[in-house]
Amino acid sequence: MKKTFEDLIDLSRHLRGPEGCPWDKEQTLDTLRPYIIEEAYEVVQAIEQRDRDELIEELGDLFYEVLFASQIAADEGEFEIGDVIDRLHKKLVSRHPHVFGEEKAANAEEAVKRWHAQKLKEKSRKRRLLHIPRTMPSLLRAQRVGEKASQVGFDWRSAGEVLEKVREELSELETEIKSGDEKGVEKEWGDLVFSLVNLGRHLKLDSEGTAHKAIDGFIERFGFIEDKAEADGKQVSDLTLDEMNELWEEVKKRERA
């Protein structure tokens, strides 16, 4: 028989109880932070791999982190999992006035606008960009900042305009590199990356996912160089830079073919 939500709550309480697990009983909301982040990434990886069984498992792990954190809060007299569920239910209703109210949304874009408009009404802090967590991966955070600013019309009108901004930032970075100003280089490099993320957004690219694909591609190509060196009885460090570049171009040709 499949377990229920109540079974999980009872299990969570038991693990933190007198007869529970010593490790579980030592955890705090602060110590859970890295595990929550790790489990979220593992869910994303399972989605990317289209692995159904892995996704079931990783969603369960992420769900348990929510339950575990709520149990810790309950033990400290702060709140319980029921409070989390109640708040979520109210939010889903209030953020969908086009479903549960009189408003209408003709398409997904309108629905998103209404969601964010309602969200801004609910938040006491009016600076909408401050709601984006600084703890997010930087490329993802940059993309979300651009999206939020775009929702009120503060955006480039086309990818071509963003491309011009990228060229401008690259030129400014080159100037700072030549000047030897380390702080200037750092600032202009950051501006260039932020502009590239916004270019990706206008090109309908997921900057975080696209960057990971590029990294995966580099790892795969470098692995080819390592395999070739090993086949010749060498370490990759034994190869000259020209030899490595030659193998790099070889694997690129294979990919295109």
Length of the chain: 257
Judge contact between 227 and 247, C-beta under 8 A. no
Beta strands in the chain (DSSP E): none
Tokens representing residue 155 in the block: 């955006």
| pTM more than 0.85 | no
Q: Which domains does the chain have, with CATH numbers?
A: 5-94 (1.10.287.1080), 125-205 (1.10.287.1080), 209-256 (no CATH)
Question: What local confidence, expressed as pLDDT, does residue 164 receive?
Answer: 97
Place of tokens 């970075």: 173
- Which amino acid is located at 172 in the chain? E
DSSP codes joined into one string, 77-136:
TS--HHHHHHHHHHHHHHT-HHHHSS---SSHHHHHHHHHHHHHHH-S---GGGGS-TTS
Max CA-CA distance within the chain? 73
CA distance 147 to 71: 35
Could you read off the pLDDT tens digit of each residue along the chain, which spans 257 residues? 788 999 999 999 999 999 999 999 999 999 999 899 999 999 999 998 999 999 999 999 999 999 999 999 999 999 999 999 999 999 999 989 889 988 888 888 888 888 877 777 776 556 778 878 888 899 999 999 999 899 888 999 999 999 999 999 999 999 999 999 999 999 999 999 999 999 999 999 999 989 999 999 999 999 999 999 999 999 999 999 999 999 999 999 998 88
Residue of 88, 46, 45, 82 lying closest to 67 (CA atoms): 82
Question: What local confidence, expressed as pLDDT, does residue 223 receive?
Answer: 95
Question: What local confidence, expressed as pLDDT, does residue 206 receive?
Answer: 92
